[in-house]
Structure 1
Amino acid sequence: MRFMMIVKATTDSEAGVLPSQQLIDAMQKYNEELVKAGVLLAADGLHASANAVRISYPEPGSKPKVVDGPFTEAKELIAGYTLIEVKSREEAIEWALRMPDPHGFGQGEIELRQVFDFENLTEDPNARAKDEEIRKQVEELKKA
């Protein structure tokens, strides 16, 4: 089972305030623990929404609408994520509870969400085969 730990943004992360060296060290130690346990798939921080673009689809069949950031509600924004693969929801919660306060000032908030596996989205064997082929292509590109 894959889970994403979504680190919520704060006013500081949206203002472009970089993490302290102490927080960077704590996060690197945490990520090393995830690697040693064999559960880490990815972990990255995101730039502030001032550098972002939001694309919406206001009406079915209409052209997408592009809006440049920044976006106003920091609590609704994402500052980073960690993607893990574990055996259960409970294990994912245990790992999320071990993450250091992602903003270092008691402002951190982590949302834990399970990632869909493609086979949970459709029974169509052709769609599943196509998804598997795409995943293989991605892996090959990583090796190149």
Structure 2
Amino acid sequence: MRVMVMVKATEVTERGGPIDPAGLEAMSRFNEELAQAGKLVALGGLTPTSNGKRVAVDGERRIVTDGPFTETKELVAGFMILEVESMEEAMDWVLRAPNCSPVRTEIEVRPLMGMAEFEAVQNAQTKVIRERMRERLNGS
């Protein structure tokens, strides 16, 4: 199963302050361990929301709002996608991750939905489109 590990934003990440070199080294070593174990699919950090935009979708209407966004507790500052056998294994890894933040940080872990979750509701045309997308994403 694949899970997304989301590191929540803090006042510190939203300020875009300097990255702690020791914290970066610790996280780099942990990420290398994940990669060597074959668990790491993707990872990345996000810039502060002052660099971002939000789009509210209401039917055919789209409303764009420029950042920054004020509710930091609902924002994501970084992410990982892990390939694990179970949620328990994901939690084992996450609980070992170094804390690189000078303030309290929250991490959310959620399973990704796979193709199986969509197959029950797809029609013939959707199936063709999804197969084309799968081939493109796999580099075929």
TM over 0.5: yes
Question: % of aligned pairs identical?
Answer: 37
How does 1:84-123 map onto structure 2 within 5 Å? 84-103=82-101, 105-123=102-120
Question: 1:7 is matched with which residue?
Answer: 7
Amino acid at match of 2:68: P
Question: 1:131 is matched with which residue?
Answer: 130
Amino acid at match of 2:66: D
1:36–1:129 distance in 2 versus 1, CA, 3 Å = farther
TM-score if structure 1 supplies the norm length? Answer: 0.88
Question: 1:28 is matched with which residue?
Answer: 28
Amino acid at match of 2:82: I
Q: Distance between the aligned counterparts of 1:19 and 1:45, measured in 2?
A: 11
Question: 1:80 is matched with which residue?
Answer: 78
| Runs of 4+ deviating beyond 4 Å | none
Unaligned runs of 5+ in 2: none
| Aligned residue pairs, count | 138
TM-score if structure 2 supplies the norm length? Answer: 0.90
Q: Distance between the aligned counterparts of 2:65 and 2:55, measured in 1?
A: 6
Unaligned runs of 5+ in 1: none
Q: Distance between the aligned counterparts of 2:131 and 2:35, measured in 1?
A: 25
- Contact kept, 8 Å, 1:4 with 1:112, in 2: the verdict is yes
Query: Residue 64 of structure 1 aligns to a residue in which SS?
Result: strand
